[in-house]
Amino acid sequence: MRGNMQKSKSKVSRRAVLTGAVTASVAVAVTSRAMAQEPSSSALTPDVKRVGMKLACLCGGCNNSVGDCPMIGCHYCEPARTKIATMQKAGSEDKAIIDAFVAEQGLKALVAPPTEGFSLVGWVMPFIAVAFGLIAVVMVLKRFMKPAPAGTMPEVSNAVLDHYREQIEKDSAKLE
C-alpha cells in the first residue's frame, strides 16, 4: 500500500510541476506579446507621433502625451491619433492641428503650458520658489551660526548663588 501511495504522490507532484510549467510558459508568452506591441494604434506614424508629443493624454489614467501613451485601447489617444492623421492628410500644419485641440479641450490639451501671457508663470514660478527657499535657508543658517554677543547673559549675584547652594546641600542631606 505504501508503494502505491508513493507512486500516486510522485505522479501528482509531476503533474503539478508540469501544469505549473505550462501555465508559467503561457503567461510569459502572453506577457511578452503584449509588451512587444507598438503603443496602441496603427495610426501612430512618425508624423502623428511628432504632433502627439505636444498634446497631453487626457484619459485620466496616465501622465503621458498622445504620442507616447502606452495604454492599449486608450479611449482618448486612439481617437486623437486618428484625428491628427486625418488632419495631416487634409494638409493641416502641426500648429493648426495643435490649435484645433486647444480650441476643443483648452490649455489642458498641451503637454507644457505656452511661454506667453499668464501661462508664463508656470515656467517662472518653480525658479522663484527655489530662490526664496534658498534665501530662507541662508537667513536661518546665518542666524544660528552667529555667536551670542558678550554680556547677554544676566549677572547673578553671589547671594542668590549661595542660597541655591544651601538648598542643594539640604536636599542632598535628605537623600542620604
Number of domains in the chain: 3
For residue 41, being part of any structural domain is answered with no
For residue 11, being part of any structural domain is answered with yes
Cell of 116: 506667453
Residue 96 CA neighbour count, 13 Å, CB half: 10
Q: Do 29 and 59 reside in the same domain of the chain?
A: no
| Domain at 68, CATH number | 1.10.8.640
Residues in a beta bridge with 65: 56
What pLDDT score was predicted for residue 39?
Answer: 43
For residue 84, being part of any structural domain is answered with yes
What pLDDT score was predicted for residue 31?
Answer: 62
Q: Do 103 and 123 reside in the same domain of the chain?
A: no
Can you give the pLDDT of all 176 residues of the chain as single tens digits?
555 555 544 455 777 777 777 777 766 665 655 444 444 445 678 888 899 999 988 888 788 888 888 888 888 888 999 999 999 999 989 899 999 999 998 888 888 877 777 777 877 889 999 999 999 999 999 988 887 777 677 788 899 999 999 999 999 999 87
**8 A C-beta contact, residue 55 and residue 110:** yes
For residue 155, being part of any structural domain is answered with yes
List alpha helices for the chain, DSSP H: 2-36, 46-52, 77-89, 94-105, 120-145, 158-175
For residue 91, being part of any structural domain is answered with yes
Domain span at 21: 1-36
Sign of CA dihedral 128, 130, 132, 134: negative
Q: Do 50 and 103 reside in the same domain of the chain?
A: yes
CA distances from 18 to 7, 21, 22, 25, 53 (A): 16, 5, 6, 11, 46
- 74: Cβ–Cβ under 8 A, 6 or more apart, which residues? 40, 57, 59, 61, 62
**From CA 79, how far away is CA 76, in angstroms rounded?**
6
**From CA 71, how far away is CA 92, in angstroms rounded?**
27
Which of 79, 112, 145 marks a domain boundary?
112
Which of 77, 112, 147 marks a domain boundary?
112
For residue 103, being part of any structural domain is answered with yes
Q: Do 86 and 50 reside in the same domain of the chain?
A: yes
**From CA 142, how far away is CA 38, in angstroms rounded?**
56
For residue 150, being part of any structural domain is answered with yes
For residue 20, being part of any structural domain is answered with yes
Q: Do 81 and 127 reside in the same domain of the chain?
A: no
Which of 96, 112, 128 marks a domain boundary?
112
Indicate yes or no: pTM above 0.75. no
What pLDDT score was predicted for residue 156?
Answer: 83
